[in-house]
Amino acid sequence: MKMAFRRFLAVGVAAVISVAGINSALAAKKQADTGIIKVGTNKALGTVTPYVARTRGIFTKRGVTAEIVDFSDGSTLMEAFASGQLDVALLGIAPTAIWQGKGVPLKIVAAANGGGHVLLTRQDTGITDVKQLKGKKVATPKPGTVVDTLFRAHISKKVAGLDPEKDIQIVSGVAPADMPAALFVAREVDAGITWEPFASQAEAKFKNARVLYDAAAEWKKANRKAANFYPTNVVIARQSFIDQHPEELKRFLGAYVETIDFINTKPKEANEIIAKELKLETAIITNARKRIDYTAAVDVKAALETLSWSNQLGYLKEIPSEKKLFDLSCLPAKAAPLKKGKK
């Protein structure tokens, strides 16, 4: 499965970056002509910030003309980004590093959110510890994502001491929206790893749901001095956009940081906006936010640790250096890196 995924990714990336240089240059010229910043994201809890900024009028107040382009998944988003159709995007940190490693010219310019992943099972399975997953069927999302690498490299190997390829029957490629049905209705699997708000939705709907592993809570136990959860999504920008439009990027990130401040300091009002954008009940968002955080500040050390999961599984050939992966020069001082990692 992993080898097939890597071959697929290599072919896909090669196809899009073969014309990325030309398209990136054309995109930079178009941005200069129009002043519009094209922002790629999707309506998920961790990447909803641009929608909140638009609803609150923060982009307009800051003089930012942002065109939000919605994508259904990270793969199609990165294909558009790599071909020069986007200036900025919110994406998982693992796919970001993988695509950069394949030659897509980009940098992480800010953090987006952390935490949010939950391993669920049913009470009737009798599974109460991750070590009991040996021989069991576990539903996971697409290979190479943060949640996939978290489950295989960290939860399975490090925490449970199991070999995910030999000891666990992994049912890969299950969409988060379909996971509750597979686990609680059809009972095709014994456990499933998903993320918020899908976990909170499942807990509210299925009374026999059991949280087997709360990744955010466990991270906090192991990293008591950490200001935030483990990095999940980040904000990236095209290298040509960083080089040619630093002032525009600064304005965008200024609006972005202001939006995160609003989300964190006025949670009740923010949760209502987020719920409306995601078409969910406010109570679900409120519960889901207990397991995620919003921050623009980059914890470089934690980010590189997260990427070690992808590296261990072979999705990422090498963990990029801090200098190669990050450019935080346009980030407002109040959102400066939390802790320096090794270069």
Looking at domain 2-114+229-327, which of 3.40.190.10, 3.20.20.150, 3.40.50.2000, 3.40.50.300 is its CATH number? Answer: 3.40.190.10
**Strands in 54-208 per DSSP E:** 65-70, 88-92, 106-115, 117-122, 137-139, 169-171, 191-195
Whether 337 shows a pLDDT value over 90: the answer reads no
pLDDT reading at 299 higher than 70: yes
Q: Please tell me the predicted confidence (pLDDT) of residue 343.
A: 38
Round to whole Å and give the CA distance between 336 and 328.
Answer: 8
Instruction: Kindly report the CATH class assigned to 117-222.
Output: alpha beta
| pLDDT band (50, 70, 90) for residue 18 | very low
- Encoding tokens for residue 58? 């923060």
Q: Burial level of 249, CB count in 10 A (0-12/13-18/19+)? A: buried
Tell me: cis bond preceding 332? Omega within 30 of 0 counts. Answer: no
Q: Does the pLDDT at position 16 exceed 50?
A: no
Mean pLDDT of 52-60: 97
* Phi, psi at 162, each rounded to 5°: -110, 155
The predicted structure's pLDDT at residue 29: 52
Least confident of 155-164, 302-311, 313-322, 327-336: 327-336
pLDDT tens digit sequence for 217-263:
999 999 988 889 999 999 999 999 999 999 999 999 999 999 999 99
Dump pLDDT digits (tens) for 102-161: 999 999 999 999 999 999 999 999 999 999 999 999 999 989 889 999 999 999 999 999
pTM of the prediction?
A: 0.88
Domains 2-114+229-327 and 117-222 share a fold: yes
pLDDT category, 35, cuts 50, 70, 90?
confident
Lay out the sheet containing 65-70: strands in order across: 65-70, 36-41, 88-92, 231-238, 106-115, 292-294
Q: Please determine, for residue 54, whether its predicted confidence score (pLDDT) is greater than 50.
A: yes
Rounded Cα gap, residues 97 and 264, in angstroms: 27
Distances (CA, A) of 119 to 43, 135, 203: 22, 16, 11
pLDDT value, residue 74: 85
User: With 80 as the cut, is the pLDDT of residue 167 above it?
Assistant: yes
Which residue would you say has higher pLDDT here, 272 or 338? 272
pLDDT of residue 333: 85
Average pLDDT of the residues of the chain: 90
Average pLDDT of the residues in 49-73: 96
Q: With 60 as the cut, is the pLDDT of residue 65 above it?
A: yes
Confidence of residue 75 (pLDDT cuts 50, 70, 90): confident
CB 242, CB 107: distance < 8 Å: yes
**Residue-range domain boundaries for the chain:** 2-114+229-327, 117-222
> Is the Cβ–Cβ distance between 13 and 101 less than 8 Å?
no
